[in-house]
Structures are given as structure tokens and as C-alpha cells.
Amino acid sequence: MTDDFMFAPRRTYTVPLAHGGVLPLGERTLVMGILNITPDSFAEPKALDTGAAVDAALGMEAEGADLLDIGGESTRPGATPVSAVDELARVLPVVQALAGRLRIPISIDTYKASVARAAVAEGAAIVNDISGLRFDETLAGVVAETGAGLVLTHTRGRSGDMYAHATYADVIDEVGGELEESAQRALAAGVPTDRLILDPGIGFAKRAAHSYGVLARLHEIAARVDRPLLVGPSRKSFMSEALGGRRAVDRDWGTAAAVTAAVLGGAHIVRVHAVAEMVQVVRVAEEIRRNQDFRN
């Protein structure tokens, strides 16, 4: 290691949210807790009813989550699409029950404009679109109208065929470029730049080596796009071989390593299932960043 080795710098941003909220990003990496209201989540042992989901959300806030991401459709590779009616039936009662009770912002994990509109009306402040505005051309207009923050994720294809699109000449260059294209779609629909958060899409239309490469070179993507970065490696299958084929629910130690890499690489937000454990991981990784110039 050379004397001038430095962890990636992390720029600061202020992201306006729906309902007059503001999300300051960059001083430290924030932890986004995942709340899946689905019967087929790849990483959860069972589906949650509304009461259990509310308890889980309040528990994640108590464990140190800075944001909560609520989703009603699994977007794992091979997942079956869900109608907007079914998705709303799953997520809206939870958003309604949590609005006013949570002190942290609620994000709605959806690519459907109708779901986003209803969830923001009930209290969600951020829309987390895993399609990067590729699946529903009207979603950006809803975000512009409601004033929500918008997470745009890099992916290619749909859940059933995303791996067929996992071919890259230069994964960092192409992911960065395609994130910029998603940002341009948002801007063209009237979403201001300062509301955008970008996600390089760990595991989405990427083989394991691609996901590891994105984590290792996250700072290059950050420098190119000049927007805050959300990274979501939690329990994903790219770690499976390295962990000896462990099930998703048994990949939290691997997730801890990936989260550490994301923090050191300059991530502004990490999206995780095991909030209490990953809050500890993030706090220690942040101390490593802060003390990189320590001499005596």
C-alpha cells in the first residue's frame, strides 16, 4: 500500500422529498431497511401481514434504519410480475399504518405509476424504481407531480430474461452511461436533478463478476454520474458461490463484506435486510474512512 492511498471521496447532496422533507446525503452512509410485503421474496422466510409488517418497520427504525423501503412485488430474477391492484393491496395498508408513526422517510419500491401515486399520497416520500424508468413511461410524471425523491436503478430486460442481457464490454462504463440515460428520462419528464438518487443495480442483469466489479469500482461510477449512490447487495445470489451455496437468509456475513466495500467506495445509502447488524457494519466502516489519515 502506498502512502497516498485514500478511500473514495463521497460528495454531499441535499435531496428534496415529497411532503416537504429533505434528505441530507454524504456526511455518513445511511441505512435503508427492506420491508418486503410479498409471498415470494428471495430473502425472507415468510410473507408479512399488515400488523407484522408495521411491527417489523418500527423495529427497523429502532435498530437504526435511516429510511424504510416498502415493496409489494418481488423483482428477483425469474419472479412473476404482479398487477398494480395486487401490489396496492399489499403495500398501501402498510404505508397508511406507518405514516405519522415512523420518523424516518418511507420509500415505495415500485416501477408502476399508479402504485407510486397512491403510496406517495398516503405518506411515502421516495419512489424506488428498479427499472430506471424503463417499464412505465408515466412514472416520471408522477414523481415530478408529487415532488418525491426518485431512485433509479440500472438493469436490463425484465425479471424473466435479465441474465440474457448480462453482456458487457466494460461494465463500469456501460452501467454509468445507462444510469445517465435514466437520469435524462427523469429530467425530460420534469423531475429536477436534485431529486435523483442512482443505484448501479447489484445483481440486476449482472453476473457475479459484474456485481463484484461494480462494488470494487463504485467510486468510478460516483465520479461519472455526480449523484448520490444507493447500493443494494443484501443477501443477493452473486455471493452464493463465494459462500459455498448458502441460502439467501444465511448470507448476512457476506452482505456485511459487500456493505463495507460499498461504504469505503463512497455509497451514500446501503439497502439491507438485517438492519441491526448492518448498522454496526456501516458505523465501523465509517470510522475506517474517517481515520484513513491517522498517524499517531
Whether 131 maps to a domain, the answer reads: yes
Residue 239 within any structural domain of the chain: yes
Q: Is residue 28 annotated as part of the catalytic site, yes or no?
A: no
- What span, in angstroms and rounded, lies between the C-alpha atoms of 229 and 29? 10
Q: Would 111 be classed as within a structural domain?
A: yes
Per the residue annotation, which of 117, 195, 236, 251 is the catalytic one? 236
Domain for residue 43, yes or no? yes
**Percent helix, percent strand, percent coil in the chain, to nearest 5:** 45, 15, 45
Domain assignment of residue 244, yes or no: yes
b/e burial code for range 58-82 (CB count within 10 A of at least 16 → b): eebbebbbbbbbbbbbbbbbebeeb
Of the candidates 153, 37, 24, which has an alpha carbon nearest to the alpha carbon of residue 98? 37
In the residue annotation, 236 being an active-site residue is answered as yes
The CA angle 36-191-111, to the nearest 5 degrees, is 30
| CATH number of the structural domain spanning residue 206 | 3.20.20.20
Residue 176 included in any domain: yes
Distance of alpha carbon 237 from alpha carbon 27, whole angstroms: 30
**Residue ranges making up the domain that contains 283:** 13-155+162-290
* Alpha carbon distances (Å) from 121 to 83, 92, 99, 125: 19, 10, 10, 9
List of residues 6+ apart from 182 with CB closer than 8 A:
132, 133, 134, 152, 154, 198
Catalytic choice (112, 235, 271, 289): 271
CB 115 within 8 A of CB 87: yes
* The pLDDT value given to residue 163: 86
Per-residue model confidence (pLDDT) at position 43: 52
pLDDT in tens, the chain (296 residues): 445 668 888 999 999 999 999 999 999 999 999 999 987 555 555 567 899 999 999 999 999 999 999 999 987 776 788 999 999 999 999 999 999 899 999 999 999 999 999 999 999 999 999 999 999 999 999 999 999 999 999 999 887 889 888 899 999 999 999 999 999 999 999 999 999 999 999 999 999 999 999 999 999 999 999 999 999 999 999 999 999 999 999 999 999 999 999 999 999 999 999 999 999 999 999 999 999 888 77
- Number of domains the chain contains: 1
Task: For 121-234, list the strands marked E by DSSP.
Answer: 126-129, 149-153, 196-199, 230-231
Please state, in angstroms and as integers, the Cα–Cα distance from residue 22 to each residue in 74, 149, 179, 195, 265, following that order.
Answer: 28, 9, 23, 10, 24
Contact of 199 with 232, CB cutoff 8 Å: yes
The full DSSP string for 82-135 is --HHHHHHHHHHHHHHHTTT-SSPEEEE-S-HHHHHHHHHTT--EEEETTSS-S
Q: To the nearest 10°, the Cα dihedral for 207, 111, 34, 146? A: 140
**What residues form DSSP beta bridges with 15?**
23
Instruction: Provide CB contacts within 8 A for 289, sequence distance 6+.
Output: 7, 10, 263, 264
Q: Kindly state whether residue 3 falls inside one of the protein's structural domains.
A: no
Q: Is residue 221 part of a domain?
A: yes
pLDDT at residue 1, as a whole number: 42
Lookup result for grid cell 416498502: 70
Residue 183: per-residue pLDDT? 98
Give the number of residues written for the chain.
Answer: 296
Question: At 129, phi and psi to the nearest 5?
Answer: -100, 105
